[in-house]
Amino acid sequence: MTLRKPTLSLLRIVTLSALAGIGSQALAADAVNLYTTREAKLIQPLLDAFTRESGIKVNTVFVKDGLLERVKAEGNKSPADILMTVDIGNMIDLVEGGVTQPLKSAELEKVIPANLRAADGQWFALSLRDRVLYADKSLKITSFTYEELADSKWRGKLCIRAGQHPYNTGLIAAKIAHDGVEATETWLRAVKTNLARKATGGDRDVARDILGGICDIGIANAYYAGQMKSAAAGTDARKWGDAIQVIRPTFANPKNSGTHVNVSGASLAKFAPNKAGATKLLEYLVSPQAQAMYAGANYEYPVRRGVKLDPIVESFGKMNVDALALTEIAKHRKQASQLVDKVGFDN
């Protein structure tokens, strides 16, 4: 481990130096520099399509950890035009860290629902990651609420990854926003009682353990199910995917409130050298073409209405997104994390 970190840091520095060496004219007109916490290969087809259409090159810098710290350290010399990340909490951290700027775009405001973007244009959701129920395919379940995870009929039958993972703290934060801290604590304690095993592993492990008979149901992101059910999945992953059905839950309060989602999204960097090019790229990423590519390549749900879904994603049924603003959910992240520790969820 001690050898890997310096090597990775060195590579990042070399990449930054290469970007910094681009002439100011090229930076301003011919290229957009994208700092991303998601591996660029996941969205490279979209970036390539944008370049073909616009003639603007996209330079990507993958920053696995410490994006905020890095951009802060670069200051007003930063070549970053766009900051892309997953998880609403990470995006809010960038905004509160002072490394973004507002972007006024009629196209982004028209396409992206108000609850999935900042009111002042500091960030925009580009795709949705719905937190869904994985259930043994033999079970007859047509609908489900997140509150039902606490039902005693699931005692010893529930699998989930760590409560402190951002995917789960986001869900818990949404529950707090709907019902308050006290009710959420009661619910979370009951959910813990229903666990079939320690809250650990990843979302794919939930499907694996349903196949293995360890649990009957679990909570995970829908796009993992899409990956496991796809023709490109490996033999083991395909078996896991075939073992489960996917149900999109809602919150009980208010009734049929909608499914909890997290997002992948982006912000305009505070000192973006190519604001015009960055705006064009962000607007392209919510175009019908790009949104269809998101849905087809990554099994994420588009933010743009009317986009044709991948058949696997479509098989999960209609999705009504929880109307609660993501900023309201983000306010309760700290409380959610504290509750996870208080009830010993991950112990």
Q: Mapping DSSP to helix (H, G, I), strand (E, B) and coil, where does residue 113 land? A: coil
Residue 220 sits at φ, ψ, to 5 deg, of -160, 175
Q: At what angle do helices 181-193 and 166-179 cross, to 10 degrees?
A: 130
Closest by Cα among 76, 106, 105, 134 to 269: 76
Question: Can you tell me the distance from the alpha carbon of 132 to that of 213, in angstroms, rounded to the nearest whole number?
Answer: 19
Reduced to 3 states, what is the DSSP secondary structure of residue 84? Answer: strand
**Neighbouring C-beta atoms of residue 54, cutoff 10 Å:** 14
CA distance 227 to 160: 18
Among candidate residues 275, 304, 227, 290, the one with its CA nearest the CA of residue 48: 290
223 is in an annotated binding site: yes
192, 219 contact by CB (below 8 A): no
224 annotated as a binding-site residue: yes
Burial of residue 193 (CB within 10 Å: 0-12, 13-18, 19+) is middle
Annotated binding site for Fe cation: 223-224
Annotated binding site: 223-224
